[in-house]
Amino acid sequence: MEETLDIDPHRMGYAFTMWTQGRLRTYLLEQTGIGISRSVFQDLMQGLSYVYRRPKRGLGQEQDALLREQVKEALAELKKEPKGVKSNYSLWTKQQSD
């Protein structure tokens, strides 16, 4: 299992480039014929000192920098507006009228 984690799945002919728990469990089942439940898999990974980290997905490179700055400024202005008075006695709050 540890050897597999060190190999790029794309280089092995897969269409993906990262091992997820499901993909790795499926691969190990195909290679060894042994199915591993999620909980046993998690225990094995923890015993090997592995932790799962989610990939960060950002769209910053796809966004217009000028428009992004304008939106940031507009949000800052909206945050400055006074908020309605909230009652400490109820979960209900009264909306401000226009």
Q: Which tens digit of pLDDT belongs to each residue from 35-82?
A: 999 999 999 888 888 887 776 777 777 778 888 899 999 998 888 766
Q: In the chain, where are the structural domains located? A: 2-47
Whether residue 33 has pLDDT greater than 90: yes
Residue 9 has pLDDT above 80, yes or no: yes
pLDDT band at 91; cut points 50, 70, 90: low
Q: What is the band of 25 on the pLDDT scale with cuts at 50, 70, 90? A: very high
What does the DSSP assignment read for the chain? -HHHHTS-GGGGT-S-SS--HHHHHHHHHHHHS----HHHHHHHHHHTT----PPP---GGGS-HHHHHHHHHHHHHHHHSPPPP--SS-S--PPPP-
**Average of per-residue pLDDT values in the chain:** 82
